[in-house]
Amino acid sequence: MATVAKEWREIPARYNLEGSECGNCNRKYFPKRSMCPFCRRNGFGKMHPYQVSRKGKVFTFSVIHEAPDCNRSLKPYAVAMVRTDDGLLISGQLVDVDLLKIEIGMRVRSVLRKLDEDGASGVIHYGFKFVPDL
């Protein structure tokens, strides 16, 4: 049950890339922070939700051949660091893509996919992955 509650708290980030922005220096963060490490006490109480762009470019990537159980039916698969159009760096799985055609700089966007499920009777965990942008 601990997992259910933890993931429930993360729904805005997992579904819609909700991060945070410091109201003092306007720096943006994903995942969200409750304190700006640059402004420290000056930013205290000024952090507010920020909607990160769902589009961006592949910054770097790697192809995974030894997968955890949740991804055993998807291997080999790619994981990418994506520079979003508003400048954040986010890592996630890159799917629906020919692994030999992934290039640094290729346009991608985030979509909702199943990340894992707690067996046949447990909860299904949804979250963002990246796909090539049409």
Partner 1 sequence: MDVGIVSYGAYVPRYRIKPEEIGRVWGADGKGMGKGLKIDQKSVPSPDEDVITISSEAARYMMQRVPDVDPKEIGAVYVGSESHPYAVKPSSGVLAEVIQATPSLTAADLEFACKAGTAGMQMCMGLVGSGMVKYGVAVGADTSQGAPGDALEYSASAGGAAYLIGSEKVIARINKTLSFTTDTPDFWRREGQPYPSHGGRFTGDPAYFKHIISASKMMLEDRNTKPEDYDYAIFHQPNGKFPEKVAKMLGFTPEQIQYGLLTPSIGNTYSGAVPLGLANVLDKSKPGDRIFVTSYGSGAGSDAFDITVTDEMKDYKRENAPTLEKVLENPVFLDYALYAKFKGTIIMPE
What minimum distance in Å lies between the beta carbon of 73 and partner 1? Answer: 4
Does 114 participate in binding partner 1 (rule CB under 8 A)?
yes
Does 115 participate in binding partner 1 (rule CB under 8 A)?
yes
Distance between CA atoms of residues 120 and 103, nearest Å: 36
Q: Are the C-beta atoms of residues 4 and 15 closer than 8 Å to each other?
A: no
Give whichever of 16 and 24 is closer to partner 1, judged by the CB atom: 16
Q: Are the C-beta atoms of residues 43 and 35 closer than 8 Å to each other?
A: yes
Distance between CA atoms of residues 118 and 113, nearest Å: 15
The DSSP 8-state label assigned to residue 23 in this structure reads T
| From candidates 4, 89, 99, 111, binder to partner 1 by CB under 8 A | 111
Positions that interact with partner 1 (CB under 8 A):
11, 15-16, 72-74, 95-96, 111-115, 119, 124, 126, 129, 134
